[in-house]
Amino acid sequence: KQEVTQIPAALSVPEGENLVLNCSFTDSAIYNLQWFRQDPGKGLTSLLLIQSSQREQTSGRLNASLDKSSGRSTLYIAASQPGDSATYLCAVGGSYIPTFGRGTSLIVHP
Amino acid sequence: DTGVSQDPRHKITKRGQNVTFRCDPISEHNRLYWYRQTLGQGPEFLTYFQNEAQLEKSRLLSNRFSAERPKGSFSTLEIQRTEQGDSAMYLCASSQGRMGTEAFFGQGTRLTVV
């Protein structure tokens, strides 16, 4: 059974810092890995999708990397802003069904 | 089409009542998922449809839960005889095509059982 772990569980940083969120998974036989953002009480917004054959994806200030063999992905957020405050979830697609971690709760304070 | 739509957004019900939620996926998406999320946790898989066929159900989906996707378009999730432990956010997602395609989520239905 796929287990997905996200570290840290919570993070509080001052505005402008570059930061890294980590996601690890136990079964490296995956098709993709997707990073999501979730605001309090809201649904999930897709940020980046990395296929298993890819090493990284970039969108604006976000960069996600994937090392399938070691079972790890990182989400790098450059020049963080208060509007980045949210919970960030990674989901691993081992079949048709994504498996989620518990998320990293991020607060960026002015 | 602006994305996955869920209705209602919020539902408060008394323990023992039945509730039904609806999900309208992105129109060309053939796969539809239901997840449940409690406070501080990641979404947990409940069930999955490919077109109208329900292909997988989690052990979390007790016999009080039933889901349908009658014409391979919208889906409903019904909870019978609700319990306080059913209080959660119920999320619907859809995707299209082969394995590894992007999943898109709705805004969720927040259920509170009192």
- Comparing CB atoms, the residue among B95, B100, B106 nearest residue A51 is B100
Please report residues of A whose CB lies closer than 8 A to that of B45. Answer: 97-99
pLDDT at residue B71, as a whole number: 86
Please report residues of A whose CB lies closer than 8 A to that of B32. Answer: none
Q: What confidence tens digit (pLDDT) does each residue in A75-103 have?
A: 999 999 999 999 999 999 877 789 999 99
SS3 B4: coil
Question: Mean pLDDT across chain A, nearest whole number?
Answer: 95
Which of A31, A97, A99 to mutate to probe the B interface, most B CBs <10 Å? A97
Q: What confidence tens digit (pLDDT) does each residue in B85-106 have?
A: 999 999 999 998 776 688 999 9
E-assigned strand segments in chain A = 4-7, 10-14, 19-25, 32-38, 44-51, 56-59, 62-67, 72-77, 86-93, 98-100, 104-109
Query: Which tokens hold the place of B76?
Result: 């409903």
Task: Please say whether the beta carbons of B70 and B19 come within 8 A.
Answer: no
pLDDT higher than 70, residue B20: yes
Please report residues of A whose CB lies closer than 8 A to that of B106. Answer: 43
Contact B100 A52 (CB under 8 A): yes
